[in-house]
Amino acid sequence: MAKIIDGKAIRDYNLDLMKKEVALLNEQGIHPCLAVIIVGSDPASRVYVNNKKAACEKTGIISREYALPEETSEEELLGLIDTLNNDSEVSGILCQLPLPEHIDKEKILERILPSKDVDCFHPENIGRLSIGNGTLLPCTPNGVMKLLEYEGIDVAGKRVVIVGRSNIVGKPLAMLMLAANATVTVCHSKTVNLSEITRQADILVAAVGVPGFVTADMVGDGAVVIDVGINRNVKERLCGDVDFENVEKKASYITPVPGGVGPMTITMLMRNTITAAKNS
């Protein structure tokens, strides 16, 4: 049976460390501040934004919320970002996705100053990451790295297989893993003989967005299995990309959903906000 990696406990441990760090920074006159923009009234986005504000409160990071109506124009949103870019009290800016369809997401994300881009979505920050020179790091991928580090799982020299090539998880995680000296394979929907490849993984990461996609026959004995999926099953319950019940019997470590990678995303957002404040 696998050891279940407790993302909530690792989150709490990290937030506690950050709380101490923020208190010390405050003494030096540095006050990390996260500005979160939410456009429209998507219920899932509302929950995410509230969770981000709660994490700010736990760590002593100042949070500001800009809740804009659905019909906000692209120009208005760009104007707000310009204002926040020029506000020296704001360390980090996050524009909650998805945005309404009439707004060009790329244009918005590229307007955020790279030094305040705490999501690490800006092409400049992705470019820095790809040359191993990232300062602000992508939150979910970095959360995966922190979970492994906390469990004492060294990725150097290991065969890491990532299923999923998204710009938010698969690709940036491959960059972080490479920087940490793993041997990385990225698989996707067009990969031939997927199971043959996944079975060879020392560390298998599922970031596909399909409930139960990774089945026990795709996992080698003793593999570390990291589930980045956040899906709703037929009963509307949260579930990951991994068939947890059966894979758990084969893996050495496994992350649950919920309570695995998810809590680490916001934790790493706090980390980026502190880093941005220190560098400003």
**273 binds ligand GUN per the rule CB under 6 A:** no
What character string, x for contact with ligand GUN (CB under 6 A) and - otherwise, covers 238-267?
---------------------------x--
Query: How far is residue 242 from each of residues 165, 215, 248, measured CA to CA in Å?
Result: 17, 6, 9
**94 binds ligand GUN per the rule CB under 6 A:** yes
Give residue number: closest CB to ligand GUN: 97
Q: How far apart are CA 38 and CA 47, in angstroms?
A: 11
Q: Is 3 a catalytic residue?
A: no
6, 117, 119, 202: the active-site residue? 119
CB 277 within 8 A of CB 85: no
CB 211 within 8 A of CB 182: no
Q: Pairing state of beta strands 231-232 and 238-239?
A: antiparallel
Q: Is 221 a catalytic residue?
A: no
**48 binds ligand GUN per the rule CB under 6 A:** yes
> By CB under 6 A, how many residues form the interface with ligand GUN?
8
Kindly indicate which of the ranges 22-30, 88-96, 142-150, 221-229 contains the residues binding ligand GUN, using the contact rule CB under 6 A.
Answer: 88-96
Query: How far is residue 199 from each of residues 219, 225, 246, measured CA to CA in Å?
Result: 5, 11, 15
Contacts of 74 (CB under 8 A, 6+ apart): 102, 103, 104, 107, 108
| Partner residues linked to 140 by β-bridges | none
**119 binds ligand GUN per the rule CB under 6 A:** yes
**139 binds ligand GUN per the rule CB under 6 A:** yes
Toward ligand GUN, which CB reaches closer, 247 or 268?
A: 268
Kindly indicate which of the ranges 1-9, 23-31, 92-100, 232-240 contains the residues binding ligand GUN, using the contact rule CB under 6 A.
Answer: 92-100
Q: Is 28 a catalytic residue?
A: no
Q: How far apart are CA 18 and CA 84, in angstroms?
A: 24
**97 binds ligand GUN per the rule CB under 6 A:** yes
- Residues serving a catalytic function are 52, 96, 119
